[in-house]
Amino acid sequence: MKQFTLIIIALLFSVTAFSQKTYNTDFTQTKVMKISGKTTDKAGHLTFDGNDQLNMIYTEPAGEYFKIEGKMVKINMDGKKVELDSEKVKVVGLQRSTLLNCLSGNWEQAAADNNAELTITEEKGLKNISIVAKGKVPKGGYKSVELTYRVSDNTLVKMVLEEAIGIINTYEIN
C-alpha cells in the first residue's frame, strides 16, 4: 500500500510540475496590425510563477510593461498606463485567463474559453498546440493561438496570439 501511495504522490507532483511551469527568460515580440500592415518590434524579460503572476518588462522600448498580479492586469504601453480588474472587465478577464492557461499548459481550458478547437501535433522535436475559434470569437477572445514547445524540456519557445480585431502578436521566448 505504501508503494501505491508513493506512486500516486509522484504522479501528482509530475502533473503539478507540468501545469505549474515557470519562466524567467528574455523574449522578443512582433506586433502586426493586419488592417494597416504596421509592424512593431519589442523585446524584454518575462517571468511567470506558474499561477497568476506574470511580468513582461520591456527593455525595448524601456519602461513599458504588461503585468498580471492576481486578478489585476497592469499595462504601460505606447505612453498609456492602465490598471484593470479582470473580474470587473470581462474582456480583460478572458485575455488574462487565456494567457495564463497557455503559459501553464492548460490548453483545454484556453480552447474552451475561446470557443475554439484544440489540436496537438509533434514533429522535429517540437510540440505544436493550435487553438482555433470554431465560429464567432467571444468578445476579447482570440481568433487563434499557436504555441510551440521544445519536446526535450517541454519549454514554450513561441506563442502567436491572433485577436479577432486583426492584431497578431508573436512572442519568441529565449
User: Does 12 reside within a domain?
Assistant: no
User: Does 124 reside within a domain?
Assistant: yes
User: Does 107 reside within a domain?
Assistant: yes
**Number of structural domains, the chain?**
1
Give the CATH number, domain containing residue 37: 2.50.20.10
Percent of the chain whose predicted confidence (pLDDT) is above 70: 89
- Separation between Cα atoms, residue 163 and residue 35, nearest integer Å: 12
User: Does 74 reside within a domain?
Assistant: yes
Percent of the chain whose predicted confidence (pLDDT) is above 90: 70
User: Does 16 reside within a domain?
Assistant: no
Give residue 50's domain range. 24-173
User: Does 58 reside within a domain?
Assistant: yes
Rg of the chain taking only CA atoms, in angstroms: 17
Q: What is the pLDDT of residue 20?
A: 44
In the numeric block, which cell numbers belong to residue 127? 510540440
User: Does 123 reside within a domain?
Assistant: yes
User: Does 10 reside within a domain?
Assistant: no
Residues 6+ away with beta carbon under 8 Å from 174? 25, 26, 27, 28
* Cβ-contact 159, 114 below 8 angstroms: no
Task: Give pLDDT < 70 ranges for the chain.
Answer: 1-20
